[in-house]
Amino acid sequence: MSFNQHMAEFGGLPVVDFLSQDTTEEDDLPKLNGPIGFDHHTKATAAAKTDPGAYAWRLRVVSFEPEEEFAPYFTRFLAEVDTAPITALVLGITASSETEPCYLEARDLLIEHRDRFPNLRSLFLGDVVFEECEVSWLSQTDLGPLLTAFPGLVELGSRGTGEGYRNPKLPVPSDTALHLRLPEHRSLQRLIVQGGGLPALVCRELDAARLPSLEHLELWLGVDEYGGDSSPSDLARTLSAEAFPSLRSLGLRNAEHADNWVAALAEAPVTPTLEALDLSLGVLTDTGARAILDTPAFHRLKRLDLHHHYLSEEMEQRLGAALTASGVEHDLSDRQEPEEFRGEKYYYPSVGE
């Protein structure tokens, strides 16, 4: 799977685009479900300007050789839209795909103009689909300064980690790769980190954070090949329930080594405190399923999401029956079969490249 659709909703609001001057054809428009044409987008943008607080605004420039660079585009957005009532922002592609898109410039522009967004509550960096940039190439930046600049944020999300993380021969500069060196932040309730591989370093940075209001944490762990070398020990405080006392929903998604994470969760103090657990999109096999069957804490959850898995048909039925009997709402859809090549079997999480 690749990311092939742009967000249609964020922060509880419909997403509307502030179109760049390069957007002249339907191919330049965000990829959404359904036939939404250029006229629809231009009319939607014009209508949104009359009530800007009723929408989540997406900022993106056309990804191939943009004539309007992001900085002047952002300046034009500030001039044309009353940003004071805006509560949700989505950053899409912010540079040509030929220049390794990164969110350092966009982050710093937001921080510089923080006074223009007094009501900002939800922010996502990286609403980018594979036609614009593969997720493994998508560079990020340190998200900590955003929390410092916006103490009222309740939701923060990102996609991508950085080229250096997936290629150990390259340096990993702090300003062009994902970091979660987060300050204490008393408002943040939701944190979502998507990508093809989440580095152990980033997990350890997050594990040290003080986010007393955090209720939902969603991490896309990914594969070793794309920098996803994290293990349960890198989230020791999170799994011990010490890091985030308000946490009730935990997602450890897209994990190449999902069985190892299940084994850790089976013994982790955090599991009995959760209402929802999301282990979807990863390489969960019968080994992990047996641990779920044998661990009472998993059967006390309100919801368990396991879709996209590698369970045998027999185990899928057995686990589903057990969860149903325990009253756990669950998703065991999208059973996968391993790929075979020269007698070897290969198992893949949903998002890698």
Above 50 in pLDDT, residue 35? no
- Of 167 and 142, the structure prediction assigns the larger pLDDT to 142
Range scoring the smallest mean pLDDT among 40-44, 110-114, 156-160, 234-238: 40-44
pLDDT computed for residue 172 by the predictor: 66
**277 or 38, higher pLDDT:** 277
C-alpha dihedral, 96 to 89 to 138 to 310, nearest 10°? -140
pLDDT beyond 90 at 100:
no
Q: State how far the alpha carbon of 161 is from the alpha carbons of 176, 180, 344, in Å.
A: 9, 11, 30
For residue range 324-333, what is the model confidence (pLDDT) as tens digits?
999 999 999 9
- Taking only the tens place, the pLDDT of each residue in 121-131 is 999 999 998 88
- Say which amino acid occupies 239: L
Please tell me the distance from the alpha carbon of residue 77 to that of residue 73, in angstroms, as a whole number. 6
Q: What pLDDT score does 66 carry? A: 62
Provide the residue ranges of all domains of the chain, joining segments of one domain with +. 9-282
Task: Please tell me the predicted confidence (pLDDT) of residue 212.
Answer: 98
- Which pLDDT tens digit goes with each residue over 129-145? 888 888 877 888 999 99
As its CATH architecture, domain 9-282 has Alpha-Beta Horseshoe (3.80)
DSSP H or E stretch at residue 91: strand 88-91
Taking the CB of residue 203, how many other CB atoms lie within 10 A of it? 24
Secondary structure class of 161 (helix, strand, coil):
strand
Average pLDDT (24-45) is 62
Q: Which of 61, 50, 75, 69 is nearest to 17 (CA)?
A: 61
Largest CA distance in the chain: 62
pLDDT category of residue 272 using cuts at 50, 70 and 90: very high
- Between the CA of residue 164 and those of 134, 180, 217, 312, 342, what are the distances in Å? 14, 16, 25, 37, 32
The whole-number pLDDT of residue 23 equals 64
| Parallel/antiparallel/unpaired status of strands 56-59 and 88-91 | parallel
Low-confidence winner among 152-156, 216-220, 334-338, 339-343 (lowest mean pLDDT):
339-343
